[in-house]
């Protein structure tokens, strides 16, 4: 399976994010996309972020509008303590999906 991994603060997720997901699905022939709201970003002030729960819910609502392939939302980074680093997330996801191709969408 070809899985796109799309992370960000998503504060909030918006139409441009959704447009990019659709383009990634089409251009990379993705079978699935996982949206991952950042927990504690190492490069941004967290006092300006909506809560993790609110950003997860916003992502779920946005994912519901994408019909091209299944789009799920992961709380992997929101639940992680400390700063969130993409490398750690990708390592965890590769362990969860060892037989799949993972594409980091940027």
User: SS3 of 27, please?
Assistant: helix
- The per-residue pLDDT for 42 is 77
- pLDDT tens per residue, range 59-79: 999 999 999 999 999 999 999
Nearest to 59 by CA among 76, 43, 82: 76
Residue 31 pLDDT > 80, yes or no?
Answer: yes
CA distance 74 to 87: 16
Residue 83 pLDDT > 90, yes or no?
Answer: no
- The per-residue pLDDT for 9 is 92
Contacts of 66 (CB under 8 A, 6+ apart): 18, 21, 22, 25, 33
Written as six digits, the tokens of 90 are: 């990708």
Full set of structural domains in the chain with CATH: 2-80 (3.40.50.620)
């Amino acid at each position: 399976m070809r899985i796109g991994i799309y992370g960000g603060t998503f504060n909030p997720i918006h139409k441009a994010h959704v447009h990019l997901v659709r383009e990634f699905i089409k251009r990379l022939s993705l079978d699935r996309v996982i949206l991952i709201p950042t927990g504690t970003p190492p490069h941004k002030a967290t006092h300006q972020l909506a809560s993790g729960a609110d950003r997860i819910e916003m992502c779920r609502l946005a994912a519901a509008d994408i019909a091209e392939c299944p789009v799920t939302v992961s709380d992997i980074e929101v639940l992680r303590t400390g700063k969130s680093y993409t490398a750690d997330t990708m390592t965890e996801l590769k362990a969860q999906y060892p037989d799949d191709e993972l594409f980091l969408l940027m």
